[in-house]
Amino acid sequence: MADRPLALIVDTHRLFREAFATLLQSGCGFGSVLETGSLDEALQMLDERKDIAFAAFDLATPGVGNPLSLRSVREVYPDLRLTALAAALRRDDIFLALRAGLHGYVPKTFEPAEIVRAVAQMMGGDVFVPPELVALPLAAEAVGEPGSERRNAQPFRLTPRQLDVLHLIRSGLSNKEIAKSLGLTENTVKVHANALYRALGVRDRSGAMKWAETS
């Protein structure tokens, strides 16, 4: 009998992680589930455990923010089935998840049976999109979400880890040297660096250095 697959849950809420882990094992056939509330710890686990087949990242996890930030995870771990978890259904986030190459977008408000079906669809090779998408408003402003205008008017913000990486890139350090300086794996640094380049609108570390010099 083949070994059952391994999953990873990244969420800051321990009770949700435990409940989701139980559901993945009892309803989705996973043998074991790794849990963490830290993005860096999650990337470390992915680097150390090449047998992780499925990973779910809560968008509220510090350092994640929106689905596009997970594109670098897809690039570094192309065989991983990857989904975003979210507290609510948002049309723009769903489309960002698709643009990022994620395999799904799962609202945490789903019933257990709905989550099981969504995970089964993703593990079967398909992309899961919540069927409620067609009924969602076009943008946050359409429902008058408090603070939406102020939030949308703000410029992008780099995460503390991205700022660390930017500072060390500007100092001329390689990814390997940055990893050693920050106590991370080289693949973890690569994920943060790729997300940094996208946030700055540059293509590579040379572009990031030029951005840092002129900003």
Residue 134 burial (10 A CB sphere; 0-12, 13-18, 19+): exposed
Asked if the domains 6-152 and 160-214 are classified in one and the same CATH topology, the answer is no
Architecture of the structural domain at 6-152: 3-Layer(aba) Sandwich (3.40)
Residue extents of the structural domains in the chain: 6-152, 160-214
Could you give the 3-state DSSP secondary structure of residue 38?
Answer: coil
User: pLDDT tens, 131-178?
Assistant: 877 565 654 433 333 343 333 433 457 888 998 999 999 888 999 999
Average pLDDT, the chain: 87
Contact 174, 165 (CB under 8 A): no
Q: Which residue has the higher pLDDT, 140 or 45?
A: 45
Contact 55, 10 (CB under 8 A): yes
Query: Using CA atoms, how far apart are residues 80 and 82, in angstroms rounded to an integer?
Result: 6
Architecture of the structural domain at 160-214: Orthogonal Bundle (1.10)
Query: Using CA atoms, how far apart are residues 215 and 210, in angstroms rounded to an integer?
Result: 9
pTM confidence score: 0.78
Query: Using CA atoms, how far apart are residues 90 and 67, in angstroms rounded to an integer?
Result: 11
